[in-house]
Amino acid sequence: MYRSPALVLACALPAAAASAEPTDLNTTRIALFSSGVGYFERTANITGTATAELRFRTDQINDILKSMVVQDFGGGKVGVVTYASQDPIEKTLRSFGVNLTDNPTLAQLLDQLRGEPVTVTGPVNLTGAIIGVESVPVVNPDGQTLTEVQYVTLHTEKGMQRLELAKIQSIALQNEKVDEELRKALRTLASAHDADKKSVSLSFEGAGPRNVRVAYLLETPIWKTSYRLVLSDDKKPFLQGWATVENATEEDWKDVRLSLVSGRPISFRMDLYTPLYVPRPLEQLEIYASLRPPQYEGGFGGESEASQLARAAQPPGVAGARSKRADRGRGDVLTGAAPAAPPAGGYGLFQAGGGRSDELPGLALSDAGVASVAIAEAAGELFAYHIDTPVTLARQHSALLPIVNQEIEATKVSIFNAATHPKHPLNGLELRNTTGLNLVQGPVTLFDGNLYAGDAKLPDLRPDEKRLLAYALDLSTEVLLKANPVPEEIVSLRVAKGTLIHRRRYVDEREYTLKNKDAKDRTIILEQPVSPDWNLVEPKEPYERTASLLRFKTTATGSKESKFKVRLERVGDQYLTLSDAGFDQIEFYLRTKVITPKVKEALQQVIKLRTELGELTKRRERLEKESGEAVAEQGRIRENLKTLDKNTDAYQRQLAKFDALETQIGKLREDVAAARSAEEQGHRNLETYLLGLELE
């Protein structure tokens, strides 16, 4: 019957007993991911209760805290996992009963231990409590200079006794707790010699022999691939792929099972090592605090908002199942209880049980002098190469491992793209991944007839996926690209709500002239940029489409010239607002061949209404001008009347003019109001007519 190991990520259990045996965890499995992390697995066979210690660089601790999985098989339990604090060494030293922070002298250290019982050996052997250390000036033999001599004073059974510190041979602390504090401080100092390393201690509790395992993720260099592709006239192309693996860890790899995993899993770093302190509010007694208005969050029935949203996000039937799984999982982690048997096929790439996911039937690879040492396997959304022999690699060393060694389908072509080279195409290959493997991106070195032909770049390729590779300039073929300008053409006119919509056809016509200087025919692939709004007219279909390119395949006859024409068309609408467009623009569209009688009649009516509106506007402006002039003249006469004697004829004549202008101004104001009303009506008539137009 299957029985699960106890699985612990971060669980506080009682510390291992003092009788725990130290054990070494050896690296037995490594998986390197293309996302920049590595999976490391360490195992050991233990008996009874045991402890293990691992050391990591400080910058690796966050990854350890985020990913470490500890397992004790055979009914054992995983104890507490402890690790060194990130606090500075000075802060740690100050936490001990004996402070070694400032590199104290013996006299300063004894001064810290005042009152502690000690046993002193030297000229005399004494046992007593330290009273203190003092410096006494002593006259040198020359009788002129002084020397400071340090004495320690002890309280003994015979009273207080003073000993010269320099003559004491040893001092032993009688208080075991204080002595242990001193030892801890010294161990902390010793560990600080390798300041960039931190220890992680693990404990395993149980009885009898069993297997334990620790797994974690660390940042590692990504594994890289490179390929060699051999072309031949009488044989199928042969592909050889190599993986470059780097051991950037602090230890040698010895007989480890190595897997290389391709894909793009999301991987990130998070600071879990730095102590975090949550800011807490300062509360006051009610007598000192004034009443503040409370703020309440909106409710969703009987559940919290977070619970409602979490439940709504689950598919039907998930909540109850997940609750049962969670309860069962807690039992597994904390108590070591056995869960249900694993599903068929184990746990995927890295099984929790004792089985190996890389035990796969070997692939039949072609023999070309170098055999592939990898077994390929699909692992969910990822793809893994399992190295079928144990790998030994010294620290800070790299290795090349053959992972692909077989024939592949590829056809020689010449690829022309004017943006790459305006005259010559590139020698290339139309390559189809017939290896049955996921090929990881990398450089490809090509050999043609045992000669170096060039370099290419292979993208990530799934099985049976096809891709073009270019590796050299094809000097035997020339391509002349000529653009044939075709004027744009109006294909239809329609009117909608006062807007003239004129649809135009745009043509992009290009002619390729292919000149093959070689006697052999060449297959040419022409690449032409295209945007989604252009339609291909000639030829009817391209050989291949991409997001931004059309590809056409044609043959360049040996020692001859040939032509290939591509015609693209695009239809687009342009808009003209009839209420303010110029009459010359409207007249232009009246003369087009594609205008329908209804649209033509509507445009003519628009011209008529706008012409009438223009006359009304001119009349209103003329009347407003005359009214303004009359008001100005009346104002001038009013000023003159102020200077004339009312009894004179001149005054009477000016007064008669003033009265006549008053009558004229009144009449003009009535005419202006009528003109404005007529103009506004003309605007309304035009607007109503335009908004009612829906003609094609």
Predicted confidence at residue 555, as pLDDT, reads 94
Say how far apart CA 176 and CA 647 lie, in whole Å.
135
- Say whether pLDDT at 458 is over 90: yes
Say how far apart CA 272 and CA 58 lie, in whole Å.
12
pLDDT band for position 91 (cuts 50, 70, 90):
low
Q: What is the mean pLDDT of residues 583-605?
A: 92
Let me know: does 592 contact 492? Beta carbons within 8 Å. Answer: no
Higher pLDDT among residues 118 and 346, named by residue:
118
- Say whether pLDDT at 88 is over 70: no
Which residues does 494 contact at the CB level (< 8 Å), separation at least 6?
Answer: 500, 501, 599, 695, 696
pLDDT band for position 35 (cuts 50, 70, 90):
confident
Asked if omega into 539 is within 30° of 0 (cis), the reply is yes
Predicted confidence at residue 15, as pLDDT, reads 40
Q: What is the mean pLDDT of residues 525-552?
A: 93
461-499 confidence digits (pLDDT tens): 999 999 999 999 999 999 999 999 889 999 999 999 989
Predicted confidence at residue 164, as pLDDT, reads 87
Cβ count within 10 A of residue 635: 11
How many CA atoms lie within 13 Å of 12's alpha carbon, on the beta-carbon side?
0
Predicted confidence at residue 148, as pLDDT, reads 87
Predicted confidence at residue 298, as pLDDT, reads 43
- Say whether pLDDT at 330 is over 60: no
User: 125-139, 378-392, 460-474, 668-682: which range is least confident on average?
Assistant: 378-392
Let me know: does 477 contact 522? Beta carbons within 8 Å. Answer: yes
- Say whether pLDDT at 228 is over 90: yes
172-186 confidence digits (pLDDT tens): 988 888 888 888 888
Higher pLDDT among residues 399 and 102, named by residue:
399
Say how far apart CA 221 and CA 37 lie, in whole Å.
7
User: 11-15, 89-93, 137-141, 389-393: which range is least confident on average?
Assistant: 11-15
Residue (of 32, 445, 432, 460) closest to 226 by Cα position: 445
pLDDT band for position 93 (cuts 50, 70, 90):
low
Which residues does 662 contact at the CB level (< 8 Å), separation at least 6?
Answer: 634
pLDDT band for position 136 (cuts 50, 70, 90):
confident
pLDDT band for position 424 (cuts 50, 70, 90):
very high
- Say whether pLDDT at 96 is over 80: no
Predicted confidence at residue 373, as pLDDT, reads 58
Give percent above pLDDT 90 in the chain: 48
Say how far apart CA 404 and CA 437 lie, in whole Å.
8
Predicted confidence at residue 180, as pLDDT, reads 87
Q: What is the mean pLDDT of residues 412-422?
A: 93
Residue (of 644, 506, 482) closest to 563 by Cα position: 482
Say how far apart CA 8 and CA 215 lie, in whole Å.
11
Higher pLDDT among residues 247 and 363, named by residue:
247
Residue (of 346, 403, 422) closest to 380 by Cα position: 346
Strands 522-529 vs 549-556: parallel, antiparallel or unpaired = antiparallel
pLDDT band for position 7 (cuts 50, 70, 90):
very low
Among the ranges 100-114, 245-259, 295-309, 339-353, which has the highest mean pLDDT value? 245-259
Say how far apart CA 413 and CA 422 lie, in whole Å.
18
348-406 confidence digits (pLDDT tens): 333 333 333 333 332 223 344 455 656 666 655 578 888 888 999 999 999 999 999 99
Mean pLDDT of the chain: 81
Predicted confidence at residue 354, as pLDDT, reads 34
Predicted confidence at residue 471, as pLDDT, reads 94
Pick the CATH number of 597-695 from 3.40.50, 3.40.1710, 1.10.287, 1.25.40: 1.10.287
DSSP H/E element including 669: helix 649-691
Q: Where in the chain is the domain with CATH 1.10.287?
A: 597-695
Higher pLDDT among residues 505 and 297, named by residue:
505
User: 317-326, 582-591, 663-672: which range is least confident on average?
Assistant: 317-326
Predicted confidence at residue 503, as pLDDT, reads 92
pLDDT band for position 667 (cuts 50, 70, 90):
very high
Q: Where in the chain is the domain with CATH 2.60.40?
A: 477-577
The CATH number of 477-577 is 2.60.40
Among the ranges 212-216, 283-287, 302-306, 311-315, which has the highest mean pLDDT value? 212-216
Let me know: does 602 contact 671? Beta carbons within 8 Å. Answer: no
